[in-house]
Structure 1
Amino acid sequence: MHIAVAAPSLTGRLHSTFALVSRLEIEGHKVTYLCSAEIAKKVHKQGFSYVEIPEINFYFDDSEQVVQYSLFARFKFHFMNLGKHYKRGKRILHLEEYKKIIIELNPDRIIIDVELHDIIFPALATKIPVILCHTWFSDKIDVKLPSIRTSIIPGQGFSGSKLGISLSWVKMRLMVYGRLWINKLTFNNYRREVFRKYAKEIGFSRNNLLLNTLPPLYSFNKLPILTLAMQEMEFPHTPANNLRYLGPMVFENRIGINSNLDTENRISKVLALKENSSKKLIYCSVSSFVKGDVSFLKKVIEAVSDEENWLLIMTLGGNINPELLGAIPENIFLFSWVPQLKVLEKSDCSINHAGINSINECLHFAVPILAYSGKFFDQNGNAARIAYQGMGLRGDKDMDTSETIRHNIVRILTEASFKSKMIEMNELYQEYRQREITPFLN
């Protein structure tokens, strides 16, 4: 079978598709990525086949510049060009170009990330079977299941009661529709409207489109969806009929785009120090945090600084200047980037922002998690599931003190239940890795 795959540029999501594509190729399928020039470099470096497509325009506005103008200017532009918005929108979003590329490639199946609406709708127009894919837990509206955007744990307090969960969903839906109407009234809704009209043009029923919390524009309630997550990590509920769990996809053979010899040597020295002593290694990965979280990082450093038997590796990404963190103790090592799998394999505790890819990589090595949600997208819901399942602890990056963080780390390192639960989850994860993917494509 020839399978086309369209993935976003986000590193974690892209790495997940690398694992998925590798397994599909092992099962005998031909796989071709549909990707922009930016992603093509990474895909090519890993040795996968691809067809280059135009860059996806996530920040589309119909006038291409008018969003920067006053509300009156946008109002005037909108009504003076009423008959032109859709035609111009199709051009700006490259919808017909994507459709032509897919027809020429002519795959038997197309697996598309759920946020890539620009490719989903043209693919549907070709009548080639489309399978959507994401890395999230279920976000089905259910009195037993809080939204993955919230920190609610079922059964805990009023918020975790059926009434509390129902009210949280009402609040979430009001926020979704509120955002929609604000965008309409400020003439910032062109992208969504173009997709809606294009769906009608190609005969795709708008009853199959849902305004939801994830992804930002539409969700699809009929198309098959594969999630690269474990059902065993979910809160108890009945998943939607079109959702199937493939399990976490961790790509071990990744070639580090940001790797360099100096970083590799420094990491090797820290890991050797860990191996040749009884010291515990804590890995703090907060590369998606922003400057506003410097205070949290300082608290983590303070929590670890006086513990001679602890080593801390902290990654900062490209968003945080190390000089803002002050003097760094000898048992703490800062990096802008590290080979994460190499570090996690030797770690005793992972402090992370509860991003699903970091969680899945902790599962890969059975590393207990201290989750400090970045409070974006699904991170609150992921942190709640970690705590609910006993895979670790969750804290509040804004409220917890350095002493609270230190206490949480002590618990992770000394209470055997967390490691035992991660080993149990790792065994389930290994079962997912042995499953054949092909049946999920039919």
Structure 2
Amino acid sequence: MNPSYYVQLYILVLNLKKKKLTLLTQGQFYLNMILFLLQPYFSHFYPTFYLAHQLKSDGQRVVFTATDNLRTKVENEGFEFFDFEFIPEYIMTGTRLFFGILLESGVSQDRCLKRKEEFQKSFLSTQKLVKDLNPDQVYIDQSIAKYYFFFAPYVKNIKIIHTKVYSGKVSNIPPMNSTYIPRKSIVSYLKVEYLWRRELLGQRIREIILRIAFLGKDEIFLWRKHCEKHKIEWKKRIDFKHSLNWGNKNLENIVLIPRKIEFSNFKKNDDIFFSEDIFLKNETQYLTKDYCDFKQKYAVKKENKIIYMAFGTLARGTKVSGFFNAVISIVEELPKTILIISTGNHSLKLIDKNCSFIFDYLPQQDVLSYADLFITHGGLGSIKDAYHYEVPMLVVPMNKYIDQNGNASRVKANGFGERIDIDNYLEREIEQKLIRLLYPIDYLLKNFHKTSTT
């Protein structure tokens, strides 16, 4: 019999003696059952895979839960996947929608009853997960941290996981969607306080609008009733002082970015932990013959400066095409400089120049291993990749309402690169920043080397 079987059996006996729960599934022993509940977008899943693989290698059973469209990506990473029923989000996009919901709520009560049914359906989905899996520990995405209240009656060990920068209010740190770079001054403290008051006021106004539309029986009402029923202290647990979404008090927060990417003046509480690790992807499917030929010709010999430009899923529209074409024209005039572009398989009307090489998809981490500069939309995953490979960045935020503005500000503040406003730029500004980043006066290298040795 395989000797490893006896090792596993010995570990099982030890854990039973320590009264630790051990699972036996398909002939494998598991120390604990770990569940990840994440926002159902792959950009929220990808950052968690390093931690999930680490937990699995330590002998834990790891399961992800979300909507079914993410099943294949999760299972390809070697993890189990279970469906979850989320509560639909209502975002008031105009007065017509507001008055439509208000009228429906007042005349027939159908809308309020439907909202209650949606809430209850999601809770039943939680109960089914708990019954089927009996999780020892649950990691909940901060952007949906309210689901803590569903799991709290059944699971003691719940942690909040941040796939973006830390979203809670911290002294002299602006909201994560702000362009402002804080400084150590009274003026900065006052400016940041103003930005937070504006951010939180906007959230309260949106909540009041929903409350009126649902005649008082909005989502907050349903959560309060749920907490009363299950004897959870709502006021002691809910934390409204977060960017974009609610948070939770008195829970451990794991922020999936290296500490050095955050503003240097960030003073973390005892319940905030940063992760220094970067998930290295399997990029085999993107190692096409055309790409490998390009790499052999330009990356191996390294006779040219190589700029990599990619905007992920946001690489679409005339605004992006215009910016990409501006960069192509500028790079064409730079000596011994080439540009490699990933369009994300979006249809972009790009000019044809000898300096540019255009691909639908590229193995990003492989490209960054030899690139001299990365022009990015500012998604946190891309910034972490560039940080890992010590590649200077020119950040061009596309979605300014979530975290990309704040990510760009952190890149600039920490000396990892520059930023450009895609709605207000001059080609001369792009050219100057490209040259500054391609031929730095050592300050970029100093910043990267400083972080890699701490």
* TM-score w.r.t. length of structure 2: 0.82
Which of residues 168, 172, 176 is equivalent to 2:195? Answer: 168
Q: 1:166 to 1:214 in 2, by over 3 A?
A: closer
Q: Equivalent residue of 2:143, what SS?
A: coil
- On the 8 A contact 1:223/1:242 being kept in 2, the answer is yes
| 1:9 CA drift (Å) | 3.7
| 1:34 CA drift (Å) | 2.3
Q: In the alignment, is residue 3 of structure 1 matched against residue 34 of structure 2? A: yes
Please name the residue that 2:70 is paired with.
Answer: 39
Which of residues 83, 101, 105 is equivalent to 1:53? Answer: 83
How does 1:384-399 map onto structure 2 within 5 Å? Answer: 384-399=409-424
Q: In the alignment, is residue 401 of structure 1 matched against residue 426 of structure 2? A: yes
Q: Equivalent residue of 1:161, what SS?
A: helix
Please name the residue that 1:360 is paired with.
Answer: 384
Please name the residue that 2:9 is paired with.
Answer: none
Please name the residue that 1:246 is paired with.
Answer: 275
Q: CA RMSD in A?
A: 2.8
- On the 8 A contact 1:96/1:122 being kept in 2, the answer is no
Please name the residue that 1:304 is paired with.
Answer: 331
Please name the residue that 1:84 is paired with.
Answer: 113
- On the 8 A contact 1:98/1:122 being kept in 2, the answer is yes
- Structure 2: state its 5+ residue gaps: 1-31
Please name the residue that 1:28 is paired with.
Answer: 59
Aligned sequence identity (%): 20
Tell me how far apart the structure 2 counterparts of residues 284 and 114 of structure 1 sit (CA, whole Å).
Answer: 30
Please name the residue that 1:436 is paired with.
Answer: none
Tell me how far apart the structure 1 counterparts of residues 102 and 39 of structure 2 sit (CA, whole Å).
Answer: 33
Tell me how far apart the structure 1 counterparts of residues 392 and 104 of structure 2 sit (CA, whole Å).
Answer: 54
Q: In the alignment, is residue 98 of structure 1 matched against residue 126 of structure 2? A: yes
Residues 159-206 of structure 1, C-alpha deviations (whole Å, 9 max, x = no match): x62222222222212211122223333449844543343233322222
| 1:426 CA drift (Å) | 3.4
How does 1:232-381 map onto structure 2 within 5 Å? Answer: 232-235=260-263, 236-247=265-276, 249-254=277-282, 259=285, 264-272=288-296, 273-289=298-314, 290-291=316-317, 292-318=319-345, 320-322=346-348, 324-325=349-350, 327-374=351-398, 375-381=400-406
Please name the residue that 1:411 is paired with.
Answer: 436
| 1:72 CA drift (Å) | 4.8
Residues 137-157 of structure 1, C-alpha deviations (whole Å, 9 max, x = no match): 334434422112111111299
Please name the residue that 1:64 is paired with.
Answer: none
Q: How many residue pairs align between the two structures?
A: 411
- On the 8 A contact 1:140/1:240 being kept in 2, the answer is no
Instruction: Specify which structure has the bigger relative contact order, considering alpha-carbon pairs within 8 angstroms and separated by 6 or more residues.
Output: 1
* TM-score w.r.t. length of structure 1: 0.84
Residues 88-125 of structure 1, C-alpha deviations (whole Å, 9 max, x = no match): 13245x21122221232012111121223574332223
Code of the aligned partner of 2:390: A
Tell me how far apart the structure 1 counterparts of residues 208 and 134 of structure 2 sit (CA, whole Å).
Answer: 39
Q: 1:279 to 1:40 in 2, by over 3 A?
A: same
Tell me how far apart the structure 1 counterparts of residues 67 and 154 of structure 2 sit (CA, whole Å).
Answer: 20
- On the 8 A contact 2:308/2:367 being kept in 1, the answer is yes
Report which of the two structures shows the higher radius of gyration computed on alpha carbons. Answer: 2
Please name the residue that 2:139 is paired with.
Answer: 111
Q: 1:17 to 1:72 in 2, by over 3 A?
A: closer
